[in-house]
Amino acid sequence: MSSVCLSMEGGAAASTPAALPYYVAFSQLLGLTLVAMTGAWLGLYRGGIAWESDLQFNAHPLCMVIGLIFLQGDALLVYRVFRNEAKRTTKVLHGLLHIFALVIALVGLVAVFDYHRKEGYADLYSLHSWCGILVFVLYFVQWLVGFSFFLFPGASFSLRSRYRPQHIFFGATIFLLSVGTALLGLKEALLFKLRDKYSAFEPEGVLANVLGLLLACFGGAVLYILTRADWKRPSQAEEQALSMDFKTLTEGDSPGSQ
Amino acid sequence: MSSVCLSMEGGAAASTPAALPYYVAFSQLLGLTLVAMTGAWLGLYRGGIAWESDLQFNAHPLCMVIGLIFLQGDALLVYRVFRNEAKRTTKVLHGLLHIFALVIALVGLVAVFDYHRKEGYADLYSLHSWCGILVFVLYFVQWLVGFSFFLFPGASFSLRSRYRPQHIFFGATIFLLSVGTALLGLKEALLFKLRDKYSAFEPEGVLANVLGLLLACFGGAVLYILTRADWKRPSQAEEQALSMDFKTLTEGDSPGSQ
């Protein structure tokens, strides 16, 4: 709350916590390493990526890691990284990153279903696939609801304020479930191919285990930056003023607000 | 912050948010279902549990689900459930639940290492085992550091206040990593045994998938109760007063506190 007061008093508004940039840089380094390592794993041990062959399957892990891990994670961080920019700009960037993530994830989904169809494999029998479908549906619903509340001009200020904590909680939860689903998928890919060789510390197994730990670390780093109380985005002066007006105006219609 | 003011003004201190008991009841129902379903899975499809035979392995998933999922999750909720009890009592309960969880998890760890030794299987080659060891070490360190800061009388108030957010963040993260590790272990157990039958929707596979989803839901439910801002434990009047005194006394020695 003290940062709000500071920003209302004047020029001190554009301050950034000293340690934040280092944590953000670290998270980005982790995220890029993740994407590069997924590419390296698929290139070195799985024959690379192509759409018109058996290699179509490999588009699935790469798209999912880029879309539902790296881009989704970065979309959550937008309000921390651009904490001193106008709220509207930040909102649009948040929405755009989530659209990119959704489209790339959709390509990854099409890749695996198309591959299964061509090879005659069963769909949606594994825990990875169940979690994956759950994540994708929740992610899509969250995007739609988020858009209607925050980008569509019709929603009232009080409605937005009440929905915001839910949006943040479900956003973080969907992201963490995405990380868990990726770990399950990685494990599945290893056990299907390596089988008993996994226990002989095959290089592919070790590389994929390290990739799995990095996935978990990226999830942890994003969660830390997102939840640290003193790194939350300060309300800007004009929003503060607006919020006061709207609060007075709208408080009447929600006496029993939970 | 308004709840603090309320509690300082008098009798309104012992209030509980209306929806909290329902969410807690739901989380406990989920947790008990999880434990029962793990038992059912091991009993129906894995021959039950015993220490002195091949069935020793089965002690591992059951102990881990009871210790590092159910009890660990409940230990995190203690400050929400007993929000109007004395802080000291709640602290001791939190510490005790974590000791039970740690001991039960240790039995589960011994079970799997002992089983591997007897059967001549390799240790610590899989992503599940890497995540598991990481979780166990972090959990043990968190317990030790938490004990020295919060139960050992030597730590100053300002030190405790600065460590508290870190303790909460790492506690939640270790819990979520435990859930992720359990999902990986479940998947491993399924793929090792069912192999290609998994894709034929074997009853064991479907049961275990449902168990996996319940594990993820329990993680989500605990996280929701833990992070909802208006469900946080209100500071009691006497702690508030103490905090003021200590803040004045100790603030001098940390001018550049981050």
> Least CA distance to B183: which residue of chain A?
A184
Chain A: give the shortest CA distance to residue B91, in Å. 23
Chain A: give the shortest CA distance to residue B135, in Å. 11
Q: Does B223 touch chain A (CB under 8 A)?
A: yes
* Structure confidence at residue A12 (pLDDT): 42
**Confidence label for B155 from pLDDT (cuts 50, 70 and 90):** confident
Nearest CB partner across the interface for A127, out of B122, B131, B209: B209
Domain annotation covers residue B3: no
CA B8 to chain centre: 32
Domain annotation covers residue B224: yes
Residue numbers of chain A with a pLDDT score lower than 50: 1-13, 238, 244-258
Give the CATH number for residue A53.
1.20.120.1770
Domain annotation covers residue B31: yes
- Cα separation, A35 vs B44, in Å, equals 41
Chain A: give the shortest CA distance to residue B243, in Å. 18
Q: Say if CB A172 and CB A226 are below 8 A apart.
A: yes
Answer yes or no: do A131 and B190 touch at CB < 8 A: no
**Confidence label for B12 from pLDDT (cuts 50, 70 and 90):** very low
Domain annotation covers residue A76: yes
ipTM of the complex: 0.88
> Least CA distance to A256: which residue of chain B?
B18
Chain A: give the shortest CA distance to residue B212, in Å. 7
* Domain range for A101: 19-233
Number of domains in chain A: 1
Q: Which residues of B touch A134 (CB under 8 A)?
A: 213
Answer yes or no: do B191 and A186 touch at CB < 8 A: no
**A188-191: long-range contacts, CB 8 A cutoff, minimum separation 24:** A188/A126, A188/A128, A188/B187, A188/B191, A189/A61, A190/B127, A191/B187, A191/B188, A191/B191, A191/B192
* Structure confidence at residue A195 (pLDDT): 86
What integer is the mean pLDDT of B124-136?
A: 97
Give yes or no for residue B6 having a pLDDT over 70.
no
* Structure confidence at residue A73 (pLDDT): 98
Domain annotation covers residue A98: yes
> Least CA distance to B257: which residue of chain A?
A18
Domain annotation covers residue B37: yes
Give yes or no for residue B72 having a pLDDT over 50.
yes
In sequence order, which ranges of chain A are alpha helices (DSSP H)? 2-9, 20-45, 59-64, 72-81, 87-119, 127-146, 157-194, 203-227, 237-250
Q: Letter for the amino acid at A173?
A: T
Give yes or no for residue B183 having a pLDDT over 50.
yes
